[in-house]
Structure 1
Amino acid sequence: MKRLYIFAFIILCISQVGLAQNKVFKGTVIDSATQKPLANTTILLVTKGVSSSTNMNGSFAVEAGVGSLLAFIKDGYYSDTVSIKIENILDSSYTFRLKPLHGTLEDVTITSDKYSKYQQDSLARRTYFLRTVGENKIPVISQANNLGFGVAINIDHFTKREKTKRAARSLFEILEEDAYINSRWNEQVVAGYTSLAGDELITFMAEYRPSYKWLRKNTADDDILYYVNGKLSKFKKKKP
């Protein structure tokens, strides 16, 4: 229920442009440092609360319209978002660059024996996200330009700075739920339990992606193992 309230709040706060008829929005997600494609990156359509993932080549295709807010979430990277503003950009394909959590001088580094790796990464993402939103006017995709690509809440409709920050914090919580899923449901873990690889691994992970609620209730590594074993038998039966 709390998540539904947050979604409603975000949808009210982002661009008030009416959603046009959806088109297929295509793109590729790459590592901003290595320029290599990022497979299995979560593509979250925030305005509808539905998600998909990139394939082995880092490519994706989602149904989206003007006014849509897309989020890109990958374990080991800063989460990022982009807002679609003009209908004709939906006819093109774009490259999106995600910034690694570790490896550059700009990184927010948080280390402590009190925190797990996920908690440290989450704190770094939160610091970076709120710092970016709090200090800069956030860009949106409105034309074919160089997509760096920066957190993209449309703040043109916000009248007060504090309202902007509240919206940013609410959006961050939405993204962080998917980041938590990715921290435990990642390629290394699932491949280790299943021996699947390539597109077959990506398909399995997308089809049987566990919910945030389930993972929070089942926090042990063995819980993932039992979950994977149950789903893997179903997956193999469905294969031609």
Structure 2
Amino acid sequence: MTLKRYILLILLVSGSLAGFSQLQVQVKGKVFDMTQQVPLVGVSVISTGGSGTQTDSLGRYTIYVKESDSIWFSYLNKGTPKYPVVAIPNQQNFEISLHVNVTELRPIMVKQRNYHLDSLANREEYAKVFNYKKPGLGIVHPNTQNAAVGVDLDQLVDVFNFKKNRRMANFRDRLVAEEKDKYIDHRFSRALVIRLTQLKGAELDTFMVRYRPDLVLVETATDYELQSYIKQCYDRFMKWKQIMGELRKEDN
């Protein structure tokens, strides 16, 4: 082996080790509630580089990140500010308390709370539609002592107004469906997918449609679990892409 090749080999190995060591920065610690006494279970710990984990039954976590990354904590669908790894004074004991009072939570809280799907502004604007109920027969209760009791004619007419009733019910269902779609878009966002997969253009469009999660997954998954889902889907997407490429080569 010549001297030049030997030097080149040393540089390549040292460069690889430097890159590897950057990926092996370990940050660990505990997460507590606002009293700084009670450890929190199931808190998502996420890095800007895409790695993540969750706290265990004792509130402990360990995450491996790059030195250039930042980490943040998410619990009950609420995230903390991002903390640059290089600015953490003690990376082996980074403890943090979240503004959560455990006495106000259910006895067991592993998953994040269900998101309140409705937009208040939207509900106020379409209050009549969201509060719509199929009309039934009503009885008129007179205020005067001598007035007769009879059927509410307005409700009687509405009962047989089939087109109006069907139109109102369909409109309400459509608004509810739109709210659910917007919530899925909010969590399964293009920005998040791009950050985790680096997909762009037509491939990104295909991925967003092909692996769009349903409402149940989006409602119940923590931030860490949702990111894990996206990464798993990305692995399947790349395998599918490879298979399709090989099939095209065979056809040609």
Normalising by structure 1, report the TM-score.
Answer: 0.35
RCO higher in 1 or 2 (8 Å CA, sep ≥ 6)? 1
Structure 1 or 2: larger helix share? 2
> Which structure's CA Rg is the greater one?
2
